[in-house]
Amino acid sequence: MTIEKIGPERAVMADRPEPAGVPPQAVSATARRWVEFNLHDRAAMRVAEDASTASILLDMFAPFRTQGLERHDLTITEAGEPMRDASHADQDYRYTDTSLYLRAMKVQVVADGGGYRVHGTRELLTATLPLLDKVLVSRDAAMIHAATFDYRGHGIAMPAWGGVGKTSTVAKLLQVEGVGFMGDDWAFMAGDGRLLGFAKPMFIKPHHRPIYPHLFARRRKPLVPSRLSKPIAELTTLVHPLVTQFPRVAALSRRWSPEHMMVSPQVALPNATISTAAPLAAAVFVERYEGSGASLEEKDIDWMVSRLIGNFHDELPRHSRDLVTALAATGMLPAERFFADKATVLARSLDGKPTFLLRVPAAFSADRASDVIVERLLDALGGAGIG
């Protein structure tokens, strides 16, 4: 697939005219200031600078800020658009052939060719993620939930469930000669066989203290004791749907939550080389289990594709999953077609590469687990002739 270049990579805010075809109810008639993002020349996004959700999207997509894009696949503003003769799905949402309004999220999604316009006054990161994934799949790339690193010119993906130890393992891997950081949470696999990085902010928690001691050496903000991290995380998950109603509060909670520190990779990993892309060489799915020792098992590509799709969807925030369900239920984004298209992209990306399942005892601390993961990862890569 040929990917059209969509714009420069330098990042600033820009004044740009509205595109033709956008209803006046959706945007101001005068020029509006936009913040733009270019994700690896695969997807282009712009957010109204005055939108309540702008600060959160600026934080999370900071590596991709740019200016002067020639197209926009996602346009995000506050004001909604009329929905004439809309159908109702009980009290949950209203929809037409090309638009959807979710009552619980108070967000409107309007299909715009191969892209979308998204409107709402709440935090819209949860609405943006699945739509961004859909746009990327149409451009031969797919979003995954994984730690990723460049190992002597080879891209390695380490998908895992939340809490397995991705962020801890990344710090240990960077002590290995020839390892570059690509991301600790989200990334993209392209159908042409490349692994594309996403060096978004990192969330450092109390149990990371032995692994990132420099972040705890100077006063930043108080964090809860490690023993309280899990209960606090569970509480955060419960209140997240409420917090998203107030984007500025959500932005503050990300920065000042006692559960974590949000820091850039450049601060968390000051001596690391940051790599934006590398040829994909292997994928290793890591999980915790109730056994007593680590085990490594080679898997086939179909198994890995299934795990990548299921893991990414499961790790999305609840409102993101609700949006996917509503888009599928109303026919705006048929689930069977989308997941099949994403599976095709991932299978092409993984074609000919080794894929593994690495299981690590749940009883291991984050520090010990990350040591074991690094050791077994390097053994697996060496055995496959990588690096």
- Tens of pLDDT, residue by residue over 123-177, are 999 999 999 999 999 999 999 999 999 999 999 999 999 989 999 999 999 999 9
pLDDT for 223 equals: 58
Q: Is the pLDDT of residue 353 over 90?
A: yes
Which of 51-55, 228-232, 234-238 has maximum average pLDDT? 51-55
**How crowded is residue 330: how many other Cβ atoms within 10 Å of its Cβ?**
19
Q: What predicted TM-score, i.e. pTM, was given to this entire model?
A: 0.84
pLDDT for 19 equals: 35
Instruction: Give the mean pLDDT of 327-334.
Output: 95
Q: Is the pLDDT of residue 178 over 90?
A: yes
pLDDT for 285 equals: 98
Q: Look at the block and give the residue holding tokens 């031969």.
A: 140
All CATH 3.40.50 domain ranges in the chain, comma separated: 142-314+343-383
For 52-72, how does the pLDDT look when each residue is reduced to its tens digit (9 = 90+)? 999 999 999 999 999 999 999
The fold of 142-314+343-383 is: Rossmann fold (3.40.50)
Q: Do the beta carbons of residue 158 and residue 166 sit within 8 Å?
A: yes
Using pLDDT thresholds of 50, 70 and 90, give the confidence band for residue 187: very high
Distances (CA, A) of 247 to 209, 252, 253: 29, 9, 10
Lowest mean pLDDT among 5-19, 221-235, 241-255: 5-19
Closest by Cα among 31, 115, 120, 17 to 78: 120
Q: How far apart are alpha carbons 157 and 42 in whole angstroms? A: 19
* In the chain, % of residues over pLDDT 90: 74
Per residue, the 3-state secondary structure of 65-126, as one string, reads: EECCCCCCCEEEECCCCCCCCCEEECCCEEECCCEEEECCCCEEEEEECCEEEEEECCCCHH
Calculate the dihedral angle through the C-alpha atoms of 343, 345, 347, 349, rounding to the nearest 10 degrees: -150
For 144-157, how does the pLDDT look when each residue is reduced to its tens digit (9 = 90+)? 999 999 999 999 99
Q: Is the pLDDT of residue 258 over 60?
A: no
Q: At what angle do helices 301-315 and 335-350 cross, to 10 degrees?
A: 130
**How crowded is residue 359: how many other Cβ atoms within 10 Å of its Cβ?**
18
Lowest mean pLDDT among 107-111, 150-154, 207-211, 355-359: 207-211
For 339-348, how does the pLDDT look when each residue is reduced to its tens digit (9 = 90+)? 999 999 999 9
Q: Is the pLDDT of residue 305 over 80?
A: yes
Using pLDDT thresholds of 50, 70 and 90, give the confidence band for residue 15: very low
The residue type found at 211 is I
Instruction: Give the mean pLDDT of 220-231.
Output: 54
pLDDT for 246 equals: 57
